[in-house]
Chains A and B, each alone.
Chain A
Amino acid sequence: MKISAADVAYVAELANLEVGDGEKDALAHQLSRIVQYVEQLEQLDTAAVEPTAQVVADGARAERRDRVEARDGSSEAAETVGLFRVPKVIAER
């Protein structure tokens, strides 16, 4: 699959990245080469293979009771680094 400058612009929008017009062609070229490389996975028949999301050895996963434990992260944060000023995230109507 060849990735076009328009693909780069679309994916950048999904990823909340601003990509300058001057960068799009270079990125399209680099990403095309990488995507063409990873497409070698198509050589394998994976129809009957289950996906692996994470490898945790058999019997190695620690479990805990589903119980709320008190932990006040916000006051720890305030104590260590003071207060946070955040931008307005709710638009005015």
Chain B
Amino acid sequence: MNPKRAPIAELARDYREDRAEASDVIGRTMDAIERAEPGLHAFVSTRREKAMDEARAADAAFAEGRPVGPLAGIPIAVKDNMHIRGEPTTCASRILKNYVPPYGSTAVDRLRAAGAIVVGKTNMDEFAMGSSTENSAFSPTRNPHDPERVPGGSSGGSSAAVAAGLVPAALGSDTGGSIRQPASFCGVVGLKPTYGRVSRYGLVAFGSSLDQIGPLSGSVADTARILQTIAGFDPMDSTSSDVPTPDWTQALDAPIREMKVGVPKEYFVDGMDAGVAERVRAGIDRLEGLGCRIEELSLPHTEYAVATYYLISTAEASSNLARYDGVRYGLRAGGDTLQAMYRRTRMAGFGPEVKRRILLGTYALSAGYYDAYYLRAQKVRTLILEDFRKAFESVDVLVTPTTPTPAFRIGENIDDPLAMYLNDIFTTTCNLAGLPGVSVPCGRIGGLPVGMQLIGNHFDESAVLRAAHHFEQDGGFDG
């Protein structure tokens, strides 16, 4: 990867200087998607006609010298759990078949208002539940680096579309690592912003205290540019924050000399791939070479994060997914009584992993088990948050591996839910603590990308993006 690349900025410049036409770029993008899709399955749906109309409108605006948005004519892919008004959202689930949302999501609307052209909706694990995109009701997405391997998940369609060079950026959502883990498996940049930074209005809810929308792209500069467009207060999301949004694209070049970088020892565990640990250690050495001050520290409750996460996220999911009862959305199965209709609809509409998580969450919330499971998990969440609070008293960012292994094979973990969950061992902590985290490539093992995660304090995306940008400029993506 060329460290100086920022494809969005370059394409925007080409448009401004009349060296490219949006209708040509979007047409070629749609052709490339069509050619790649039979082997890749990154998309649930594409929007060729609408995208071409939007591209021609952008070309007309450029030709007539009318004001255009900063992302005018830039092709973008969107995970299929975010709404575009009047167009289907499936969440890769049978239960949302034929569902057409009557409103758009704030994040996508903001991108489109800035001129970006959505070329299609990307594949995902059903309702964003999974780490491989194998739980899609349609078809698993394949990893562009090795079609026998998963792209990660749940935003696997978005990461694969970026990694395959089909789009310069895509939106994903991250509840326990669903942006960062697929970014890591596909060798792209994936950012989960601070909880509250990006409005979730129009994002289909999974775990409401954990969900956050963020960008995947090929470079840190482009990541910052997309974040700039989607971040900021939205009265339509009660968890949206009015903390001011800094100019991230301008902040990237500020020096990182003397930046304090913490390395939590609990993120280098027995049983993880030795090559992954080695690449991430080399990445940390590179940051030290760039003038960062490296400090080993401890986040003692890290080992409890996956258990805490799977109790809290499934409890919230069981509640959020209660709305899919055959009355208001998509699929409706027949039944003699209302109760039978609900049950048959949900049985026919949900895939096995979604059912498993609804059952687990319902169990954790049920009478007699609430205190032992759900409440206890909420208390451990406090301990995990306190670990980070203490760490950020002495460091600016934390650096860890994103995942314990590179991309695994399709089918390898699908029959073992617990093994699949343990893939999230390094990523769920950011969601539990509401912190921003970015995964950047840091070399490869046997042709497969490895990801390094940088975690920042609340609302300090600037620090992680700056460190990631300098790492990229120094050639760190290639290891």
Q: Which residues of the partner chain B approach A62 to less than 8 Å between Cβ atoms?
A: 233, 240-242
Contact A41/B376 with A33-B418, A56-B195, A64-B235 known, Cβ cut-off 8 Å? yes
Q: Mark B23-58, 1 if CB is under 8 A from A, else 0.
A: 000000000000000000000000000000000000
Q: Which residues of the partner chain A approach B362 to less than 8 Å between Cβ atoms?
A: 11, 14-15
Q: Mark B335-359, 1 if CB is under 8 A from A, else 0.
A: 0011101111011001000011011
**B255 within 8 Å of A by Cβ?**
no
Instruction: Identify the closest chain A residue to B194 (Cβ).
Output: A57
Task: Tell me whether A19 and B355 are in contact (CB under 8 A).
Answer: yes
Q: Mark B63-90, 1 if CB is under 8 A from A, else 0.
A: 0000000000000000000000110000
Please measure, in the bound complex, the distance between the C-alpha atom of A23 and the C-alpha atom of B363, giving whole angstroms.
17
Q: Mark A44-56, 1 if CB is under 8 A from B, else 0.
A: 1010011111111
Partner of A8, one of B339, B359, B385: B359
Task: Tell me whether B343 and A16 are in contact (CB under 8 A).
Answer: yes
Instruction: Identify the closest chain A residue to B303 (Cβ).
Output: A40
Contacting A at CB under 8 A, from B73-121, are: 85-86, 100-103
Q: Which residues of the partner chain A approach B304 to less than 8 Å between Cβ atoms?
A: 40-41, 44
Task: Tell me whether B102 and A86 are in contact (CB under 8 A).
Answer: no
Q: Which residues of the partner chain B approach A52 to less than 8 Å between Cβ atoms?
A: 378-379, 381-382, 385
**A18 within 8 Å of B by Cβ?**
yes
Least distance between A92 CB and chain B CB atoms (Å) = 11
**B397 within 8 Å of A by Cβ?**
no
Total contacting residues, chain B, CB less than 8 A: 71
Q: Which residues of the partner chain A approach B326 to less than 8 Å between Cβ atoms?
A: 87
**A34 within 8 Å of B by Cβ?**
yes
Total contacting residues, chain A, CB less than 8 A: 52
Task: Tell me whether B194 and A41 are in contact (CB under 8 A).
Answer: no
**B403 within 8 Å of A by Cβ?**
no
Q: Which residues of the partner chain A approach B379 to less than 8 Å between Cβ atoms?
A: 46, 49-52
Please measure, in the bound complex, the distance between the C-alpha atom of A20 and the C-alpha atom of B343, giving whole angstroms.
11
Contact A17/B347 with A11-B362, A53-B209 known, Cβ cut-off 8 Å? yes
Q: Which residues of the partner chain B approach A80 to less than 8 Å between Cβ atoms?
A: 85-86, 100-103
**B248 within 8 Å of A by Cβ?**
no
Q: Mark A5-39, 1 if CB is under 8 A from B, else 0.
A: 00110011011111100000001001101110111
Q: Which residues of the partner chain B approach A57 to less than 8 Å between Cβ atoms?
A: 194, 196, 241, 243, 434, 458-459
Contacting A at CB under 8 A, from B268-317, are: 301, 303-304, 306-308, 310-311
Please measure, in the bound complex, the distance between the C-alpha atom of A72 and the C-alpha atom of B242, giving whole angstroms.
25
Task: Tell me whether B380 and A14 are in contact (CB under 8 A).
Answer: no
**B228 within 8 Å of A by Cβ?**
no
Task: Tell me whether B346 and A40 are in contact (CB under 8 A).
Answer: no
**B9 within 8 Å of A by Cβ?**
no
**New contact pairs (14) apart from A33-B417, A46-B380, A81-B100, CB-CB < 8 Å:** A11-B363, A18-B347, A30-B417, A38-B308, A38-B373, A46-B376, A50-B379, A51-B375, A52-B381, A60-B242, A60-B458, A76-B103, A80-B102, A80-B103
Interface positions of A (Cβ within 8 A of B): 3, 7-8, 11-12, 14-19, 27, 30-31, 33-35, 37-42, 44, 46, 49-57, 59-62, 64, 73, 76-81, 84, 86-89, 91
Q: List 18 interface pairs A-B (beta carbons < 8 Å), by A numbering.
A: A3-B363, A14-B366, A15-B362, A16-B342, A18-B346, A27-B355, A31-B363, A41-B380, A50-B379, A54-B195, A55-B434, A57-B458, A60-B196, A80-B85, A80-B101, A87-B326, A89-B327, A91-B338
